[in-house]
């Protein structure tokens, strides 16, 4: 029997930011898969989607280890694949929930690859990206006219970070909690610190919006923090 596998973007956090397509797929699913890490009690994607999950749907929390020893990782993934294929072979509609959008920095892509040759139909449903939610929250354009917008994990090496800051008009920096002080220094050098805004836990409890990054000093930065910035028209860099 042919099942259907849905990869569903649940968006950045607010349950009202799911698309109607995502909501409909969740409502018709026989099984809802919520990926989680070993560390957390409940899947974040699951708590966002909860208002739409029907009583009759089975909820399956699967752990997809990403930072673990190779053998454990491999065993867990093989078992997860087997579990999902058994459900699909039984003709079930299986919905896999993912934060934001399924195609952007998501574990879902690995699951997609495990299943794409299985013969079952796969339907991917896009979601609102967290940086879009932040831009809309602040009323700050992500890009206009002929602007280049780059989405950059702040964990890349220094030389690449400098090159991408130099060529972009607008930058979204993800995962900035690890090396925040260095990031601010680099933004300053490239005329991008004046317009920078950092948002932590956007739309969630404990949301913080920080406009003056240089004043933040060495205060600890939350894990769910993103910086949006654009080049200043007259930057310190240009004046130097």
22 φ/ψ angles, rounded to the nearest 5 degrees = -65, -45
Burial of 78 by CB count in 10 Å (0-12 exposed, 13-18 middle, 19+ buried)?
exposed
Q: Which of residues 135-174 bind a second copy (CB under 8 A)?
A: 135-137, 139-153, 155-156, 160, 163-164, 166-168
All residues at 6 or more sequence positions from 141 whose CB lies less than 8 Å from its CB, including other chains: 135, 170, 230
The minimum distance between CB 139 and a second copy, in angstroms, equals: 6
Tell the residue number behind the tokens 């699909």, with chain if given. 88
Contacts with a second copy by CB under 8 A: the residue count is 58
From first CA to last CA, the distance across the chain in angstroms is 68
Nearer to a second copy, 139 or 206 (CB): 139
Span near a second copy by CB under 8 A; candidates 4-12, 54-62, 208-216, 217-225: 4-12
227 binds a second copy (CB under 8 A): no
100 DSSP 8-state letter: B
The minimum distance between CB 227 and a second copy, in angstroms, equals: 15
17 binds a second copy (CB under 8 A): yes
127 binds a second copy (CB under 8 A): yes
The minimum distance between CB 176 and a second copy, in angstroms, equals: 14
Could you give the CA distance from residue 116 to residue 5 in angstroms, rounded to a whole number? 10
Query: Which residue in the set 47, 132, 179, 195 belongs to the binding site for a second copy (CB under 8 A)?
Result: 132
Could you give the CA distance from residue 121 to residue 110 in angstroms, rounded to a whole number? 16
Give contact residues for a second copy (rule: CB under 8 A).
7, 9, 11-12, 14-21, 23-24, 101-106, 109, 112, 116, 122, 124-129, 132-133, 135-137, 139-153, 155-156, 160, 163-164, 166-168
């Amino acid at each position: 029997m042919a099942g259907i596998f849905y990869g569903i973007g649940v968006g950045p956090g607010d349950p009202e930011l799911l698309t109607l397509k995502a909501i409909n797929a969740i409502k018709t699913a026989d099984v809802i898969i919520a990926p989680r890490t070993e560390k957390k009690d409940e899947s974040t994607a699951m708590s966002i989607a909860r208002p739409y999950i029907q009583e009759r749907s089975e909820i399956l929390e699967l752990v997809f280890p990403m930072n673990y020893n190779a053998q454990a990782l491999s065993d867990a993934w093989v078992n997860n694949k087997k579990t999902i294929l058994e459900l699909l072979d039984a003709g079930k509609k299986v919905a896999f929930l993912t934060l934001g959008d399924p195609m952007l920095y998501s574990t879902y892509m690995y699951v997609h690859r495990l299943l794409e040759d299985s013969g079952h139909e796969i339907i991917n449903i896009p979601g609102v990206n967290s940086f879009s939610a932040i831009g809309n929250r602040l009323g700050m354009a992500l890009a206009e006219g002929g602007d280049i917008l780059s989405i950059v994990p702040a964990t890349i090496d220094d030389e690449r970070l400098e090159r991408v800051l130099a060529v972009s008009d607008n930058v979204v920096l993800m995962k900035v909690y690890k090396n925040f002080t260095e990031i601010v220094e680099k933004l300053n050098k490239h005329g991008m610190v004046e317009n920078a805004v950092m948002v932590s836990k956007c739309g969630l409890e404990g949301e913080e919006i920080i406009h003056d990054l240089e004043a933040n000093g060495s205060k600890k930065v939350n894990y769910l923090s993103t910086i949006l910035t654009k080049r200043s028209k007259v930057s310190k860099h240009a004046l130097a």
